Structure 1
């Protein structure tokens, strides 16, 4: 129970960081007049920090089998997300950008979980879950005037 609370708290804190990162990087992109340069700087800082943490933690042993090719495509989605948010947030506002990201996450996670895609635990969309998704979506639109 305590472990689940701790893990949930860490993920919650990561969620808090998403709009902070979006606002900071959007501001950097605007100041540099280049969302692409701001994204590259963010990725460079991330590479340096994750490499330093890996060195402190210790290098893991390499797997005996090659992971599926799609499992290495996460970097594309990170760069796409950061570049899109960095470029578009100054035009539509932080709240609208993050709420639209949240809506995209609700839709994609529901599909991924329903079909068990990419090795995810298969969790079918029930009527109760569908209602919850619909209410979350409605809530997003009620909280923010989406473009």
Structure 2
């Protein structure tokens, strides 16, 4: 059970690798913003049916949550637009390394300060070294 969540996260990451290539190809044929809209539209339909058949939550609770928590959808749209724009220029792996570098760096900062209600997990020397190595890998992947 302890490995289930990391394995699910890896599966999600693998899905993202497929997604960025598929969306990048779609963007070449339809346009960046159009591909983003199509991708979100199909995702929205899929989630609608999943919620319809399996959801047990309360949509009306959205009116009671802090409004900053609704910003995630905009960030998701920004991410999809950026990857559709970048993948055809860099390729999947360099794009994902850059995405992951941004996620790890900002994730470490969020954890360090306990932002957005998270638990404080300070950046130490080991984490700093890992972040530097990640950025070095980004450099190596993109250096010709």
Q: CA deviation at 1:7?
A: 1.6
Change (3 A) 1:76 1:146: farther
Please tell me whether residue 56 in structure 1 is matched to residue 53 in structure 2.
yes
Please tell me whether residue 36 in structure 1 is matched to residue 50 in structure 2.
no
Superposed, which structure 2 residues align to 1:1-147 within 5 Å? 2=1, 4-32=2-30, 34-61=31-58, 62-63=60-61, 66-142=64-140, 144-145=141-142
Query: How many residues align structurally?
Result: 143
Deviations 1:89-126 (CA, angstroms, capped at 9, x unpaired): 11222222111111111111011110111122210001
- RMSD after superposition: 1.9
Q: CA deviation at 1:133?
A: 1.8
Larger helix percent = 2
Q: Normalising to structure 1: TM-score of the pair?
A: 0.88
In structure 1, distance between residues paired with 2:73 and 2:61: 20
In the alignment, structure 2 segments of 5+ residues that lack a partner are none
Q: Normalising to structure 2: TM-score of the pair?
A: 0.90
Change (3 A) 1:103 1:146: farther
Q: CA deviation at 1:146?
A: 5.0
Q: CA deviation at 1:77?
A: 0.7
In structure 2, distance between residues paired with 1:65 and 1:37: 30
In the alignment, structure 1 segments of 5+ residues that lack a partner are none
**What SS does the aligned partner of 2:108 have?**
helix
